[in-house]
Amino acid sequence: MIALSLGGLLGPQSAFAQQQILFIRAGIPTTGTPDIGMSDTGTIENTTTIDTNTASQNPALGHDHSLSLHYKDISKADWFYDKVISLAINGIVGGYSDGSFKPRKSITRAEMASFLARAKSLQATGTEPFGDVNETDWFSKDVAAVLQAGIMNGTTPALFSPSGLLTREQVSAIIVRAAGMDGVTDIQEQNRWLQGLKDRRSISLWARPYAAAAIKYNLMGGYPSKELRPSGVVTRAETSVLIWNILYKEIRESGGYPTYVAPYLPKPTIIFPQQKQVVFTKNYSVTAQIDPESSTQELWVNGKLVQIKHASGSNTVTFTGLKAINRTYSISVRTKNGSASTSTGVVSYYCLQAPSNHDHLIVIDKSEFRLYWIIDGFLKKIYQVAIGRDGMATPNAEWIVGQKYKTDPKGVYGPRKMRLYGLINGTYEYTRYGIHGTNEPWVIGTRASHGCIRLRNKDILDLWPQVGVGDHVITQP
């Protein structure tokens, strides 16, 4: 049996000892009864004893394990469970005196300072002159430590605001500094790392370098909805995962893995193209964020292995020379290192030959009788259409929506119509073509109109309010 102190984790230990603690922290089943508590003032109360003789050789982070430490308000089904338990065993985070962890409670600035000071083994020299931090406060030394380390600042020169909450963009800056990294200052590189976020334009200018760096170095990611939510507050569970990511990165870079375990590979992430993203060129590439320790990377397209790379030591891998032949593709990236292997989820995207510089774009593919509605480069929806009949074919052209109006629901245009203005001699001019509904739904999927684009009435009612005057339209073979 060995006793682990609940003080600083990354203090003066050998790299190998640090790695051992990491894997105890990261999910090796243990026996014993850890008795870790944080009082309502935030102080850690004691140490825990772990039986290393019964430790499993499975280092897989995030896998189920049988740690006996228990908080009444979290379970193994929670996405953050392993990380919270791992940090709690090492005294970096703790629960409350009522036996709860309060994972969904917003973290305060004082708690963040305390968690980081423990995780980084920071020691303050003296105190800091904040008017709202007293020497007797349980967090006073931690606040001084993170301030002196350059990880956190006050909200003003005179105030720390210990009870204040932190936004996600503020936390991105904090964790990047805590990891010893710099923000991404190159604008093009920033855009590359942030392009998959639908709310990237909501990130404050000062925070963009840190948000990009947090994503680049696998410290922080977006939500499944492809949002960063930069102004949203951060919970105790989310903070635990972020701190765990920092420590995992440091341990990995300190000398690799212990010899008695196979390397764990975090899942790669496809950066481009994103789910439902539209690729506008015939020749394109696929880029994925990978763990630097993966030795082999495979690109699978529509269930077939098409490329193999060996980008060891890199954070990203790019598969080039891909040609768009079909409209729809499903891809995944698989990484390997020895016996370890993991892959991304399947990403489905679309290849359309159209200009890529429009925020809102309609592409009508006449060969498929389909209308693609695209917002910010991502496919919003596909509608089936009818196009011009023989002798009255729908032209291949570039248009804008010049007018929108309601029509007689019982008439030839159905309930709504959008007039298309054609690009003629460099300017958009009125034409007889449009996009409208139909009271003959059986013609959808055929060449039946006088050249206009027909949709089912329910579809035009769905599309019409989303499209603005001036939005671009492409009709193509």
Q: Which of 65, 351, 358, 436 is catalytic?
A: 436
Do the beta carbons of residue 299 and residue 376 sit within 8 Å? Answer: no
Stated as kind and residue range, the H or E segment containing 212 is helix 208-216
Name the token pair of 14.
């050998």
Phi, psi of 249 (to 5 degrees): -60, -45
- Cis before 273? omega within 30: yes
> Is 452 marked active-site?
yes
- Collapsing DSSP to helix, strand or coil, 99 comes out as coil
Query: How long, in residues, is the chain?
Result: 477
Checking DSSP bridges between strand 427-436 and strand 370-375, what pairing results, if any? unpaired
Rounded Cα–Cα distance for residues 177 and 171 (Å): 10
Choose among 307, 284, 400, 418: nearest CA to 353.
284
Dist. CA 217–CA 375, nearest whole Å: 28
The CA R_g of the chain, rounded to the nearest whole Å, is 28
Which of 65, 351, 358, 452 is an active site residue? 452
Sequence-distant (6+) residues with CB within 8 A of 386 are 369, 438, 443, 444, 445, 446, 447, 448, 449, 453, 454
310 given a catalytic annotation: no
Q: Is 347 exposed, middle or buried (0-12, 13-18, 19+ CB in 10 A)?
A: buried
Closest C-alpha to 196, from 62, 344, 59? 344
Q: What is the DSSP string of 219-284?
A: S----TTS---TTSB-BHHHHHHHHHHHHHHHHHHTT---TTSPPP-PPPEEEESPTTBEE-SSEE
Q: Is the Cβ–Cβ distance between 92 and 9 less than 8 Å? A: yes
**By 3-state DSSP, what share of the chain in percent is helix, strand and coil, each rounded to 5?**
25, 25, 50
- Residues with active-site annotation: 436, 452
